[in-house]
Amino acid sequence: MSGERILIVEDERIIAIDLQRRLENYGYRVAAIASTAAEAIERACELHPDIILMDIMLSGDGDGIDAAQTIRDSSGIPVIFLTAYADERTLERAKAAEPFGYLLKPFKERELYTTIDMALHKSRLHMEVRRHERWLSSILNSVADAIIASDGEDTIQFMNPVAESLTGWTEKDAKGLALADIFQIFDLHSGLRIQLPSSAGSHDSDNAVFFDDAYLHNKQGARIQVDGTIASIRGPGNHPRHHFDGRTIAFRDVTDLKKMSDIIVYQASHDILTGLINRDEFFAHLEETVRTSRDDGRHHAFIYVDLDQFKVVNDVCGHLAGDELLRQIGGALLENVHREHYIGRLGGDEYGVVLVDTNLQQAQQVAHQLREVLNRKFIWQHNTFNITASIGVVPVSSHNSDIYTVLAAADDACYLAKEEGGNAVKVYETADYTFLKRRGEMQWISRLTRALEEDRFVLYAQPIHPLASNLGLKQEILIRLIDDDGSMVSPGDFIPAAERYNLMPSVDRWVINSVLRHLRSAGPLPQQLDSALLAINISGASVKDEAFLDFVTRAFREADVDPALFCFEVTETTAIESLSRAVGFMNRLRKIGVSFALDDFGNGFTSFAYLKNLPVDYLKIDGSFVRDVDTDPISLAMVEAINNIGHVMGMKTIAEFVTSNSVKQQLAGIGVDYVQGYEIARPAPLDQIVLFAAQ
């Protein structure tokens, strides 16, 4: 590879930054990161990267497939889809975009780099074909250029109408005159006349002579910028008849083209909408700033600005209003930051400021000043918005190893400023617990991704014990992770990060596939069941994922396993936050035999209002009430109430977090159906458990 430029389209910023790091470790250059379909189209048009890695599910209007189709039609840039979705509908839509690759998350790094390499190779072949087509088209349409032909004595023999127009000479008047008298070109920079190659030497080489950065001094005294070629005319067999047959000069007026080129050079380094330097140019300045800090000990600062209400303005008033707001913010930044510093638009509603030779205290003062300046009213037609900004400040010193360290720190600071309600300035501090916690969660992205790629999760199971003789034993499937150093990691350490950064659907898929593999290897399965045997936790992200339903039904069908073996546990919070989606999810899977348990029930007693609308078979009473049921009358009353309501609704009840025999006896007296906890049994590796021995 030779540093090909890649555009990443991913709306999870942390995942995008991680992907950027991995790509650049392999020598690729990330041209930009986009988070919406509209931004992807804009960045592709503006930067024209070599290839685009496109997530399908994106925030905002349109998805990755819509963006890929638009990019294909407008620029032909190759696209590789990176997605967790492989349902038939998505695949059929994706085919229409003609991607150069389709990778399912999670994917191994080698799969990613091989796919990119093959896509780039295919793209180069397509480009080569298109280059030849353009070359042939140029030859066939060369009459649009000025053409002058001379004989072996360098006297004019032919001029086409374009040559007549540019030189000011008619063919009739010029014919027979010396080429040097008709065609006089000068160096654009020095003003010196450019001498044409001598006729005597022209036939010694088959190569055409190119010229550019020149201007033609025509008959009327006008100066016209031109470029073109001078080529020899050969005799048959490529041998000269006499000593020389002549030559042709093909040239064109590039005056307007040069002006346009100057504009393009400007636009390549500036954001068209705001006039600020663009992302690539800004990052180049930031990288140089980091280098001078590291090598020369200079102190600088980086300010990261993210508007708080931009999406609201866009959604309510449309993109024209959003663009006007972005222009106003860009103008405000230019007016309030000294010219020796660098201001850039990083994409969307994000801006960056590099403060050169500025200490942290000074940077904080600038940041607070900008926060005040950007706190404004934005009026569009009859709508008024209060605009504020979240600002992250990072000192750039010799401690910053590279630009990505600075960017990640700024992203952390800005994120925490938003979490505090926005309209705030947050300075990155390495010792601050909130930053350490967020950085720890971010590091889990790579660790979890590697664990999925390398199959380093382990299944455990914990019994759910019946308190009545007519009920059968169940097992709850649990997950552990084997870390890079071989140590076992409990789910409480990695599940929060997996949920925050949308990795839980991949984890849930791994669990279901692994359980099904275990069942197939465990021997004959029960033919008839009175109730589900295996309980599996399903995350809120998977409940909201339409493709997850198709995955589950397909997995059961391909494994030839009875879905009635399974009970999916969904938390009370997930069910209430996405009530209609949760009900649809449960009803569809209940039709094929899956039962459902509502986990952690009782966190909020408003849950009773929703319970009658949820098609669940089991009610798991939250452990915070269960553990004190033998000593706390309030906990006892709550558990009794939940148990009674569950039974009235035809549900079985499960009490979790049973840690003593007295708690177990109290629950039995209440009439709870099942108990689970360390008093019953601790979790054990699934491969050490005989699942169906008690059935």
**455/524 same-domain check:** yes
Answer whether 227's CB lies under 8 Å from 212's CB: yes
Question: Which tokens belong to 471?
Answer: 């009920």
What's the pLDDT band for 681 if we cut at 50, 70, 90? very high
- Predicted local distance difference test score (pLDDT) of residue 657: 92
Together in a domain, 33 and 156: no
Task: Measure the CA–CA gap between 569 and 576, rounded to whole angstroms.
Answer: 14
Q: Is residue 642 part of a domain?
A: yes
Q: What angle (nearest 5°) sits at the alpha carbon of residue 679, between those of residues 677 and 682?
A: 60
Q: Which two tokens stand for residue 537?
A: 């936790």
In sequence order, what DSSP letters do the residues of 321-346 get, joined into one string? HHHHHHHHHHHHHHHHS-TTSEEEEE
Same domain, 527 and 391: no
Q: What is the mean pLDDT of residues 129-152?
A: 69
Least confident of 242-246, 269-273, 474-478: 242-246
Give the whole-number percent of the chain exceeding pLDDT 70: 88
Q: Rounded to an integer, what distance in angstroms lies between the CA atom of residue 580 and that of residue 433?
A: 38
CB-CB neighbours of 374 under 10 Å: 21
The CATH code of the domain that includes 539 is 3.20.20.450
Q: The tokens of 324 are what?
A: 């006007």
User: pLDDT tens for residues 47-60?
Assistant: 999 999 999 988 88
Write down the pLDDT at residue 524: 61
Write down the pLDDT at residue 242. 44
**SS3 of 666, please?**
helix
Residue-wise pLDDT for 47-106, tens only, equals 999 999 999 988 888 898 999 999 988 888 999 998 888 888 888 888 888 898 888 888
At residue 345, the pLDDT reads 92
Predicted structure pTM score: 0.46
Confirm whether 435 is domain-assigned: no
* Collapsed DSSP state (helix, strand, coil) of residue 482: strand
Is 214 found in the same domain as 91? no
The alpha carbon of 102 is separated from its chain's Cα centroid by a whole number of angstroms, namely 15
* CATH assignment at residue 276: 3.30.70.270
Mean pLDDT within 269-287? 89
pLDDT for residue 137: 42
| Domain shared by 195 and 65, yes or no | no
Euclidean distance between CA atoms 512 and 446, whole angstroms = 22
Mean pLDDT over 523-540 rounds to 72
Residues 120 and 184 in one domain: no
* Count of beta carbons in the 10 Å neighbourhood of residue 610: 16
Which DSSP string do the residues of 122-191 spell out, in sequence order? HHHHHHHHHHHHHHHHHHHTGGGSEEEEE-TT-BEEEE-HHHHHHHS--HHHHTTSBHHHH--EEETTT-
Residue 499 has pLDDT above 50, yes or no: yes
* pLDDT at residue 653 greater than cutoff 90: yes
- Residue 203 pLDDT class (50, 70, 90 cuts): very low
**Residue 133 shares a structural domain with residue 158:** no
Q: To which residue do tokens 């860009």 refer?
A: 330
Q: Any idea what DSSP says for residue 236? A: G
Q: Cα separations (Å) of 582 from 367, 475, 501, 570, 686?
A: 44, 23, 21, 9, 28
In the predicted structure, residue 257 carries a pLDDT above the cut 50: yes
* Residues 516 and 375 placed together within one structural domain of the fold: no
Q: What is the CATH number of the domain that holds 133?
A: 3.40.50.2300
Asked if residue 209 and residue 291 are part of one domain, the reply reads no
The count of other CB atoms within 10 Å of the CB of residue 357 is: 14
Residue 694 is assigned to a structural domain of this protein: no
Residue 675 has pLDDT above 90, yes or no: yes
pLDDT of 531 reads 62
Sign of the alpha-carbon torsion through 180, 184, 188, 189: positive
Are 113 and 152 in the same domain?
no
Tell me: pLDDT of 359 over 80.
yes
- Residue 119 to residue 80: CA distance in whole angstroms: 8
CATH of the domain at 249: 3.30.450.20
Is residue 682 classed exposed, middle or buried when 0-12, 13-18 and 19+ CB atoms within 10 A define those classes?
A: exposed
Q: Which residues contact 348 (CB under 8 A, 6 or more apart)?
A: 35, 36, 39, 310
* Mean pLDDT confidence for 390-414: 81
The last residue of a domain, from among 260, 280, 298: 260
What's residue 320's pLDDT? 92
Is the residue at 265 inside a domain?
A: no
Domain that holds residue 20: 5-140
Same domain, 393 and 514: no
Name the domain boundary from 370, 395, 430: 430
> Does residue 127 belong to any structural domain of this protein?
yes
Domains identified in the chain, total number: 4
CB 44 within 8 A of CB 70: no
Average pLDDT of span 122-146: 68
SS3 state at 32: strand
Question: Residues 524, 501: one domain?
Answer: yes
Q: How high does pLDDT run on average in the chain?
A: 84
Token readout for 371 is 């926060």
- Report how far apart, in Å, the C-alpha atoms of 274 and of each of 165, 174, 343, 350, 441 are: 41, 52, 11, 12, 35
- Does the pLDDT of residue 238 top 70, yes or no? no
267 within domain boundaries: no
| Maximum Cα interatomic distance, the chain, rounded to a whole number of Å | 120
Q: Pick the last residue of a domain from 94, 120, 140.
A: 140
Question: Mean pLDDT over residues 318-339, rounded?
Answer: 92
- Report the share of the chain in percent with pLDDT over 90: 33
622-634 confidence digits (pLDDT tens): 888 898 899 999 9
